[in-house]
Amino acid sequence: MVNLPNIMIIGLTGQSGAGKSTVCEMFAENGFTVIDCDDIARKTADNRRFLDEISRRFSEELLNPDGTLNRASTAKLIFTDEEKRGRYQRIIFPYIIYEIMCRIKSAKNKVLLDAPTLFESGLDMVCGKIVSVTADTDKCAERIVKRDGISPERARERLSSQHSAEYFRERSDCTIENNGTLEELISSEKTQLYSIML
């Protein structure tokens, strides 16, 4: 674990559609600076140096004619081709991690990293504690369909490219099982989360 004096860093991860956003809000309400790693990844996709590197490594197959990232092609690659997904992640993660570390250093003393790829990126090494949010596959797929407006088949395809709930449970200090309603999540997990936050 990387030591950053006077900063409590908690990593939040889990399956797509499990309900991490609600848990993020609970941490924010308790004084944590929430760093949205997915948002940083989206902004990194506009970085010229990153785009040049992607062009060299993937022969421009992921770029639009104007040189911007073709997000649809990239999403398809990430969710269907494990080997290319690994190559893509090895390119983008250093850019993302640099930006995250800059934000951590400028934050106050409590930080939550909302990071779906916490373990793949190595960001778990800077976290004092790790919280995972998991749910049944059917429930995750249902939420993804509603959130992203995609078909159930696409939602399940996306989930099949990700780690299982058990993977997250084995690597976390705290696992939140979120198969119920929003109210049930908030009421059942408050005590558990507050003990993590202390």
The model's pLDDT over 141-168, given as tens digits with 9 standing for 90+, comes to 999 999 999 999 999 988 988 899 999 9
pLDDT of residue 81: 83
Global pTM value: 0.81
Share of the chain above pLDDT 90, in %: 53
Q: CA-CA distance, 2 to 125, in Å (whole number)?
A: 6
The model's pLDDT over 20-47, given as tens digits with 9 standing for 90+, comes to 888 888 889 888 999 999 999 999 989 9
C-alpha dihedral sign at 143, 118, 154, 47? positive
pLDDT of residue 188: 60
pLDDT of residue 1: 45
Quote the tokens at residue 143: 């939420």
Dihedral (Cα; 133, 139, 140, 143), 10-degree rounding: -110
Q: CA-CA distance, 144 to 6, in Å (whole number)?
A: 37
Q: Sketch out the chain's domains with CATH numbers.
A: 8-197 (3.40.50.300)
pLDDT of residue 126: 93
Instruction: Please identify every stretch of the chain with a pLDDT value under 70, giving residue numbers as ranges.
Output: 1-5, 59, 182, 186-198
pLDDT of residue 142: 93
Quote the tokens at residue 61: 């197959």
pLDDT of residue 62: 85
